[in-house]
Amino acid sequence: AQTVTQSQPEMSVQEAETVTLSCTYDTSENNYYLFWYKQPPSRQMILVIRQEAYKQQNATENRFSVNFQKAAKSFSLKISDSQLGDTAMYFCASGGGADGLTFGKGTHLIIQP
């Protein structure tokens, strides 16, 4: 079984600032994947970034990067130079086992102009 915990229900930052979203997880799988998905208002969910647990190097996608601490079971998302279009629900997820993807409850990120 897998659990994913996002402890920040909502965050608000100014445009161009850097923001970090927290996520902790627990899994019994040896080979697993971690994800951050973004769900903009009334729009479909899209993948932001993906991390294979066996890779030590933190994944990076343009302004988005993760801090993967395997021993601590922590997987935070850093958004640099935040933009208005980054306003969305962000879901951390764990996968690779028989239970599909397990999602956290989400963090509502608001970018203020």
Partner 1 sequence: KAGVTQTPRYLIKTRGQQVTLSCSPISGHRSVSWYQQTPGQGLQFLFEYFSETQRNKGNFPGRFSGRQFSNSRSEMNVSTLELGDSALYLCASSGGELRNTGELFFGEGSRLTVL
In the complex, the residues that contact partner 1 under the rule CB under 8 A are 33, 35, 37, 43-47, 50, 91, 95-106
Please choose, from the candidates 97, 101, 5, 111, the residue with its C-alpha nearest in 3D space to the C-alpha of residue 45: 101
Residue closer to partner 1, measured from CB, 66 or 106: 106
Return the number of other C-beta atoms located less than 10 Å from residue 109's C-beta: 21
Q: How far is the CB of 48 from partner 1 (least distance, A)?
A: 11
Residue closer to partner 1, measured from CB, 1 or 16: 1
Q: How far is the CB of 4 from partner 1 (least distance, A)?
A: 9
Q: How far is the CB of 100 from partner 1 (least distance, A)?
A: 4
Residue closer to partner 1, measured from CB, 82 or 102: 102
Residue closer to partner 1, measured from CB, 43 or 113: 43
